[in-house]
Amino acid sequence: MVSPENKLPTDAGLMEKIVSLCKRRGIAWQGSEIYGGIGAVWHFGPLGVEMRRAVRELWWQKFVLQRRDVVGIEGAVLMHPKVWEASGHLESFTDPLVECKKCHMRYREDHMSSGRFIGGEAKEKNQCPECGGKDFTSPQDFNLMFKTFVGPVEDKANTTYLRPETAQSMFTDFKLALESSRQKVPFGIAQIGKSFRNEITTGDFFFRAREFEIMELEYFVAPGKDEEWFEKWLNEWEKFYLDLGLDKEKLRRYEHPKKSLSHYSKRTVDIEYKFPFGWSELGGVANRTDYDLKQHEKFSGKDLGYFDEATGKKFVPYVIEPTMGVERVILPLLVDGYHESDGSDGREKGEVVLRLDPRIAPIQVGVFPLVKKDKLPAIAQEISDTLRAASIRAFYDEGGSIGRRYRRQDEIGTPWCVTVDFDSLKDKKVTVRDRDSLKQKRVNISDLKTYFQDLLF
């Protein structure tokens, strides 16, 4: 939550400030920028990479390593083209598209009718955000999958697609994962991986991109147990966001009406977050019934049923699918964490503090010598190396005044800074400064590793 003494910019300016901070400090920037960039493709810099890794590791730890009923796989981006026929993606994975007859820009029909555009604003509903035109073509379906070819000949027989989701490899590998891991239903298969969608309307920084990473589970249950497990996974999914520190008041559940459900879904609930650009989906849970396994049985000719030894019955499992995007975890953390001081908290007015959970902060400990002389730099470097060897993300900095170094770390979310001063030569202690409270305490150099491990782990 935002404390009274620290104000947020208005919604209109907040995203601009976050985009600027991300580029300036090495969190994220547009791909191929020196060539003018490529639309809706983003690169994550030195700090962004660390945030992504931290989020993935926390997710894997919680939903795979800490559970006895979930195993992981890593499926390939390319799959047999029959997979996409069986899954319904070739037929159903489309967006209705309209084209402005004046400037020939193309937009999703649902964005036109709602008046809300990702990456732009229309003056009113059914008005082109590019030129203001109001005359559009009839809607035409556009498939969102990227097409490619396997082998040297570019023909229909060698056509396949970059996967638009990670789910299908977990369905096709269901029996292999089940038997090799000696699991029993109910059990889940987890995967983190890249997916690709040829989005038409893009924008809002890396919220909606053409290349993105999904953290996803397919949880296989007996028919009749699906609704019970749906509620359990929905609660677990929401709790993960709250545990990372997201503002509960900015989260809500959106129940998809039956008429708008995907072709495979019995029930779908999205977890949405109130971004500066409005409420949008972070992740969600779907009840896919037995649709996927039955489709792959039909198209492959392979038996994907499960024999329950306890009941002596065979069935095709239902699937509960909790899913979330890595990028869609990071963006709200940046939005929630961004604070500008009004000067009443001991900082100068306008100073930026990124209040990230220490577990996902790209740098967890900044280590500084007070000045660049005597043995102070050598001691600080040794502390930094010791912390890094203990898997604590530490950063050594000796440039500029100590106040300026503190401000740089505050701006990128570093929760603690360690300063080696002249007293350190005598008492073998250093000053540890807390990002949020600004409180400082002396800690023995020999105790630093354990001190931070206790705070982080």
CA torsion, ordered 44, 47, 53, 57, to nearest 10 deg: -150
Read off the pLDDT of each residue in 311-336 and give the average, rounded to a whole number.
97
Name the residue with tokens 């059914």: 126
Report the percent of the chain where pLDDT is more than 90: 79
| 106 domain-assigned | no
| 320/223 same-domain check | yes
The predicted structure's pLDDT at residue 189: 98
| 132 domain-assigned | no
From 97-111, 150-164, 189-203, the region with the lowest mean pLDDT: 97-111
Read off the pLDDT of each residue in 370-388 and give the average, rounded to a whole number.
96
Whether omega before 322 lies within 30 degrees of 0, making that bond cis, reads no
Q: The CATH number of the domain where 396 resides is what?
A: 3.40.50.800
| 177/255 same-domain check | yes
The predicted structure's pLDDT at residue 119: 42
| 302/215 same-domain check | yes
| 109 domain-assigned | no
The predicted structure's pLDDT at residue 84: 94
Rounded CA gap, 176 and 75, in Å? Answer: 12
- In tens, the pLDDT along 146-186 reads 999 999 999 888 999 999 999 999 999 999 999 999 999 99
Read off the pLDDT of each residue in 282-292 and give the average, rounded to a whole number.
97
| 314/275 same-domain check | yes
Read off the pLDDT of each residue in 81-107 and give the average, rounded to a whole number.
79
| 298/189 same-domain check | yes
| 325 domain-assigned | yes
CB 86 within 8 A of CB 300: yes
From 19-33, 199-213, 214-228, 279-293, the region with the lowest mean pLDDT: 199-213
The predicted structure's pLDDT at residue 121: 45
- In tens, the pLDDT along 213-223 reads 999 999 999 99
The predicted structure's pLDDT at residue 139: 76
CB 346 within 8 A of CB 250: no
pLDDT at position 321 over 50: yes
The predicted structure's pLDDT at residue 9: 57
Confidence of residue 12 (pLDDT cuts 50, 70, 90): low
Read off the pLDDT of each residue in 30-42 and give the average, rounded to a whole number.
93
Confidence of residue 131 (pLDDT cuts 50, 70, 90): confident
| 89 domain-assigned | no
CB 285 within 8 A of CB 230: yes
| 300/409 same-domain check | no
- Averaged confidence pLDDT in the chain: 91
| 270/378 same-domain check | no
Q: The CATH number of the domain where 316 resides is what?
A: 3.30.930.10
Rounded CA gap, 217 and 62, in Å? Answer: 12
Max CA-CA distance within the chain? 79
Q: How many domains does the chain have?
A: 2
The predicted structure's pLDDT at residue 2: 35
Q: What is the per-residue burial (b if ≥16 Cβ within 10 Å, else e) of 285-310? A: bbbbbbbbbebbbeeeeeebebeeee
Q: Which domain holds residue 370?
A: 363-456
How far CA 144 is from CA of 91, 291, 299, 364, 452, in Å, comes to 11, 21, 22, 39, 46
The predicted structure's pLDDT at residue 102: 72
Q: H/E/C letters for each residue in the chain?
A: CCCCCEECCCHHHHHHHHHHHHHHHCCEEECCHHHCCCCCCEEECHHHHHHHHHHHHHHHHHHHHCCCCEEECCCCCECCHHHHHHHCHHHHCEEEEEEECCCCCEEEHHHHHHCEECCEECCCCCCCCCCCCCCECCCEEEECCCEEECCCCCCHHHEEEECCCCHHHHHHCHHHHHHHCCCCCCEEEEEEEEEECCCCCCECCCCECCEEEEEEEEEEECCCCHHHHHHHHHHHHHHHHHHCCCCHHHEEEEECCHHHCCCCCCEEEEEEEEECCEEEEEEEEEEEECHHHHHHHHHHCCCCCEEECCCCEEECCEEEEEEEECHHHHHHHHHHHEEEECCCCCCCCCCEEECCCCCCCCCCEEEEECCCCCCHHHHHHHHHHHHHHCCCCEEECCCCCHHHHHHHHHHCCCCEEEEECCCHHHHCEEEEEECCCCCEEEEEHHHHHHHHHHHHC
| 389/240 same-domain check | no
Identify the domain boundary among 317, 334, 351.
334
As to burial, measured by CB atoms within 10 angstroms (0-12 exposed, 13-18 middle, 19+ buried), residue 446 is exposed
The predicted structure's pLDDT at residue 115: 53
**Residue (of 117, 115, 141) closest to 126 by Cα position:** 115
| 226 domain-assigned | yes
Identify the domain boundary among 334, 355, 378.
334
Q: Which residues contact 150 (CB under 8 A, 6 or more apart)?
A: 78, 158, 159, 160
| 268 domain-assigned | yes
| 293/404 same-domain check | no
Sign of the four-CA dihedral 293, 269, 325, 32: positive
Identify the domain boundary among 334, 353, 380.
334
**Residue (of 293, 249, 291) closest to 273 by Cα position:** 249
Read off the pLDDT of each residue in 51-76 and give the average, rounded to a whole number.
98
| 398 domain-assigned | yes
The predicted structure's pLDDT at residue 122: 42
The predicted structure's pLDDT at residue 33: 94
| 325/376 same-domain check | no
| 314/375 same-domain check | no
pLDDT at position 105 over 80: no
The predicted structure's pLDDT at residue 390: 97
Rounded CA gap, 54 and 391, in Å? Answer: 11
Rounded CA gap, 421 and 426, in Å? Answer: 10
| 188/256 same-domain check | yes
